[in-house]
Amino acid sequence: MVKCCLCGVQLSAAVQTGARCVQCLRKEVDVGASVHRRGQVHRCNTCQRWLRPNGGWTVADPESRELLGICLKNVKGIGRELQLVTASFLWTEPHSKELKLKLELQQEVITGVVVRQAVVVELGAQALVGHFSVFTILNSSTHNPRYCD
């Protein structure tokens, strides 16, 4: 039997890689370090549509699956090494201009050892009047801006 190099707990043969126990490995590794904890999403105040990262507009109810997808695409730092296990909204005041997401992330730290961690991300919902403001702010288009229906 091998002992953990940090706390001295005996390790089984399956966990001997790295000679650390799971508890010490969780304390040592920050899985969500590369994830940006703050971000922004854009919403048209006139027609209540949300701006998707690809530039299109979509209707999404509060705390809906569509809005969760838009928010996740605006979170930076989730890549191939870092996998998203679950995502959900955290409760905020109904009139709040912030959306809070709870993300459960996992990463293979050492060969055969996967660590999971929960991260809270706050996204500010920037309300814009008409689509013209969004095109001006994002500088994403040189053609005539679209206006609300």
Domain ranges for the chain, please list them: 2-138
Encoded tokens for 76: 């930076």
Write out pLDDT tens, residues 26-84: 788 888 888 999 999 998 888 888 988 887 888 999 899 999 999 999 999 888 888 99
pLDDT at 138: 53
> With 0-12 CB in 10 A as exposed, 13-18 as middle and 19+ as buried, what is 22?
middle
